[in-house]
Amino acid sequence: MRIRFSPFYLFFLIGILLVAAVVLRVEKKETEHKIVVVIPQDPDYLDPHLASAAGTYEMMFNVYEGLLKPAPDGTLLPAIAERYDITEDGRSYTFYLRPGVKFHNGQTVTTADVRYSLERLMGTQTGQPLSSYFTKVEAVETPDAERIILKLKEVDAALLNNLTTASIIPKDYQELNTHPIGTGPFRFVEYRPGQRVLLEKFDDYWQTGRPFLDKVEFRIIPDREAALLALKNGTVDIYPRIDNNRTAELGEDFYTLRDKQNLVQLLAMNLNRKPFSDHRVRQAVNYAINKDELIELAAFGYGTKLGSGLSPAMANYYEPGLEDFYPPDRAKAQQLLAEAGYQDGFRTVLTVPSNYPFHVDTAQIIVEQLKKVGIKVEIELVEWAVWLQRVYKGRDYEMTIIGLAGKLDPLPTLIRYTSDYANNFFNYKNTEFDRLFQQAADESDQEKRAELYKKAQRILAEDAAAVFLMDPHYTVALRKEIAGYQTYPLYIQDLSTVYRVSKKPR
């Protein structure tokens, strides 16, 4: 017996299936646990060993991990390594691989992957290190499937902290800059330049129960008015580093968190160019800047005045008192300019990345302050990619304003001022600073190490290596239904603990 279906019945069946598909898609969208975070810039590299921009690390912290990882209070937690031992002489570290950790491609992490990652950073095979943090590591040994042994040429007190940013990647994987693969709570989905970076939950993440979200989108919105509008109309859920003077506009559907940022905002001068090669000119610029006024006008009072290359967020290492080393003194500034042969002042260009409105606001205030001592400044706004290539890497500028993100240890921050550092865009050179920095890096006694770093900071102030402005306090605005957000003394967005209160964590 044959069963025949009329055309009408077939069309009816197809219609039912289409409706069901639409309903399923709607239900999936409604149950999807996703948030959107606004950021002002594109990543510089998706390859974690090539990236240098703090804004990139801010996002990719969720994708990549090291042997260790930071906690919100700045302490260290085990990550890909579940534990470690250090020999009594401090020159051998043994890390024990956490069993069962998987990469986002499904492969299990091996000691060979760890060795490859660290040696890539060290430049063992190429002779071209991708990081200056591991120069004291003589060899990476993997005697078995469990242990990774780091043999040091000499003591390196900063090694454990530096390992938090040494991302572990699959051995010989060549597509990191287009299809990143890490071990973090979220896996990379796509990057659309100028639009977004999209991540999704990694179901096989080693930390049970994390993350709570299904998807995270970092929405790239350079314009702060557009970012604020996106937050208000609900297309964005979290707005990090929102302007403090705009939080009152948000209303009862939002709340804010505020904390120290461990960021050094500074006015850099190219020491290889006149007139900034003259110590007296740099001192004059320092005396002409009123940091209290900057904090009040640019940060609306939410900032901590600085006097060196470290923020007081790093309390054990910060040298207090340097923030007032150059009190605002217009007469002193003009006297120093005259002594340097610039009694009528001079003209210069201040190059600022346009995607950081806070730096642009700071620049406009500084222009007016310097004008009072005869220094005429023209602001040049450039795109972030241009700033990275021309200013940071090419050192082609006269003055610039930028924020240097602090780490858990002073070494990665203060190394920027050492004479042979590849990205010393200040062109700062001081043999005594280099000597103190090296001594501190070699010192295992934390009290002695802190004292050496404090002396090094004093040299930066005396030399007027830059104008150290402020650590602007970190303010983040969140929709009320967002919970679990944690602040860190680092420039990161950790979305592994974040969830919507209407969707309780599993």
How many CA atoms does the CB half-sphere of 104 hold within 13 Å? 23
- Residue 72 domain flag: yes
Closest-CA residue to 382 (of 352, 409, 348):
352
Query: Edge to edge, what strands does the sheet with 92-97 contain?
Result: 81-86, 92-97, 147-152, 137-141
Tokens of 173: 């994987």
Average pLDDT over residues 135-147: 96
Tokens of 341: 């042969």
Domain co-membership, 467 together with 483: no
Check residue 25 and give its pLDDT.
47
Domain co-membership, 338 together with 422: yes
Domain co-membership, 111 together with 147: yes
Number of domains in the chain: 3
Helix (H, G, I), strand (E, B) or coil at 394: coil
Domain with residue 235: its CATH number is 3.40.190.10
Domain co-membership, 401 together with 301: yes
User: Percentage of the chain with pLDDT > 70?
Assistant: 93
DSSP string, 120-180: HHHTTTTS--S-STTTTEEEEE--SSSEEEEEESS--TTHHHHGGGS----TT---TTTS-
- Residue 177 domain flag: no
Check residue 74 and give its pLDDT.
86
Domain co-membership, 468 together with 480: no
Domain range holding 479?
A: 36-41+184-259+474-500
Q: Is the pTM of this model over 0.85?
A: no
Domain co-membership, 304 together with 219: no
Domain with residue 101: its CATH number is 3.90.76.10
Domain co-membership, 98 together with 209: no
Domain co-membership, 407 together with 467: yes
Distance (Å, whole) CA 167 – CA 117: 7
User: Percentage of the chain with pLDDT > 90?
Assistant: 82
Domain co-membership, 251 together with 284: no
- Residue 317 domain flag: yes
Tokens of 352: 């600022």
Domain with residue 286: its CATH number is 3.10.105.10
Reply yes or no on whether the pLDDT at 16 is more than 80: no
Distance (Å, whole) CA 265 – CA 263: 6
List, in order, residues 6 or more apart from 418 with CB less than 8 Å away: 424, 433, 434, 437
Closest-CA residue to 448 (of 321, 322, 317):
317
Tokens of 160: 């454990």
- Residue 17 domain flag: no
- Residue 269 domain flag: yes
- Residue 49 domain flag: no
Burial 181-207 (b: 16+ CB within 10 A, else e): bbbbbbbbeebeeeebbbbbbbeebbe
- CA of 203: how far to CAs of 101, 186, 210, 211, 215, in Å? 12, 9, 9, 9, 12
The residues facing 216 across adjacent strands are: 35, 199
- Residue 27 domain flag: no
Q: pLDDT (tens digit, 9 = 90+) per residue, 65-98?
A: 999 999 998 899 999 999 999 999 999 999 999 9
Reply yes or no on whether the pLDDT at 11 is more than 90: no
Q: pLDDT (tens digit, 9 = 90+) per residue, 417-441?
A: 999 999 999 999 999 999 999 999 8
Distance (Å, whole) CA 501 – CA 229: 23
The values of phi and psi at residue 266, to 5°, are -140, 160
- Residue 79 domain flag: yes
Check residue 86 and give its pLDDT.
96
* Residue 311 near residue 264 (C-beta atoms within 8 A): yes
Domain co-membership, 68 together with 127: yes
Q: Is 253 exposed, middle or buried (0-12, 13-18, 19+ CB in 10 A)?
A: exposed
* Average pLDDT over all residues of the chain: 92
* Residue 260 near residue 313 (C-beta atoms within 8 A): yes
Check residue 56 and give its pLDDT.
96
Average pLDDT over residues 109-115: 98
Q: pLDDT (tens digit, 9 = 90+) per residue, 176-187?
A: 999 999 999 999
Domain co-membership, 447 together with 305: yes
CA angle 473–39–313, rounded 5-degree value: 25
Domain co-membership, 88 together with 209: no
